[in-house]
Amino acid sequence: MVNSKAVYLYARRTFSLRTLRRADPFLIVLLLFLTLLAVIMLLPIIYLFNHALKPFHELFLFPPNLIARNPTLQNFVELFTISEDAYIPVSRYVFNSIIVTMLATGGMITTSALCAYPLSKHKFPGRTVLFSVIVVSLLFVAEVLTIPRYVVVSNLGIMNSYWGHLLPIVSLPVGVFLLKQFVDQVPAEIMDAAKIDGASEFGIFARVVLPIVSPALATVGILAFQLAWNNVETSSLFMQDEAMKTLAFYMTSLTSNLSNSVARQGAAAAGGLILFVPQLVVFLIFQHKVIATMAHSGIK
């Protein structure tokens, strides 16, 4: 099996200005086009950062400014002072989001890996049917599962608890599908050698399989983090206690039930940036793993 990381590093090393000078005009035009496309894709991120720093009178300018003329942190101050007189402070929503996201991300990665490994490397009755059911579940939208999830959570008695946040989202079918395709590529010879050396089944899974599919694990982790961090369904359906709701839900309710659409827009802009930054940081940390995942998926 070819080391995808080595291929990626070799490609970076071989691509230089000398290569660019020798390239044909079509390649140069293509690189310029892709560079322009990358800049265009960065514009929404730049706008999001600057929008959160705009003073109130700049939020409603038309046409809108990409760069804040008079940047200020007043929007963040407003966000954290809105609930001063309320029973639940913003910090409580932030704390809930951090706890739920960390536990849910770890749970989704663990369950996806534990499910993908036997589906890929063990033959048992109903394996094909089970995997087909997992693939078909990707077709269902969240709204279809709302009532069954509510009934299950209610009967389990985990309303208004962190379990009510975790159990409805701990399964990640796309993670199982992705990891299974990678585990399929793990050579059986390596696992047989580990068995000869006396490794247990769990030892093979933890010390042989998981390190090999680590790029796919990182990709699943990014998907799981985004799903858990942006999730509002569990807060709106299963949490009647306001102290158990998450920051994403609080952001959706920040400008609702107001007499106009102008109030709290600065706080909403600051809240949108706060929701976005952790996802950006996580992606930047693991983006090399995502690139390795895409490269590895095409190399046998």
Domain at 259, CATH number? 1.10.3720.10
- Check residue 252 and give its pLDDT: 83
Residue 49 lies in a domain: no
Whether 60 is covered by a domain: the verdict is: no
Quote the pLDDT of residue 109: 93
Contact between residue 146 and residue 233 where contact means Cβ atoms under 8 Å apart: yes
CB 152 within 8 A of CB 103: no
Residue 97 lies in a domain: yes
Task: Write the DSSP assignment of 146-170 as a string of letters.
Answer: HHHHHHHHHHHT-TTSHHHHHGGGS
294/67: higher pLDDT:
67
Helix (H) or strand (E) holding 99: helix 90-121
Selected residue with higher pLDDT from 103 and 127: 103
Domain that holds residue 118: 4-13+88-296
CA 173, distance to chain mean position in Å, is 14
**Residue 300 predicted with pLDDT over 50:** no
What are the φ/ψ torsions at residue 257 (nearest 5 degrees)? 60, 30
Whether 30 is in a domain gets the answer no
Domain count, the chain: 1
Structure token digits, residue 271? 């809240």
Read off the pLDDT of each residue in 283-294 and give the average, rounded to a whole number.
73
pLDDT at position 264: 73
**Is residue 181 one of the residues assigned to a domain?**
yes
In a domain, 211, yes or no: yes
**What is the band of 283 on the pLDDT scale with cuts at 50, 70, 90?**
confident
Q: Tell me what pLDDT residue 107 has.
A: 93
Least confident span in 47-51, 207-211, 284-288: 284-288
Task: Give the closest residue to 180 by CA, choosing from 97, 104, 103, 113.
Answer: 113
45 located within any domain: no
Q: To the nearest whole number, what is the mean pLDDT of the chain?
A: 82
Under 8 Å between Cβ of 183 and 257: no
When pLDDT is cut at 50, 70 and 90, the band that residue 2 belongs to is very low
More confident residue, 123 or 86: 123
Q: For residue 1, is pLDDT > 50?
A: no
Looking at the domain assignment, is residue 151 inside a domain? yes
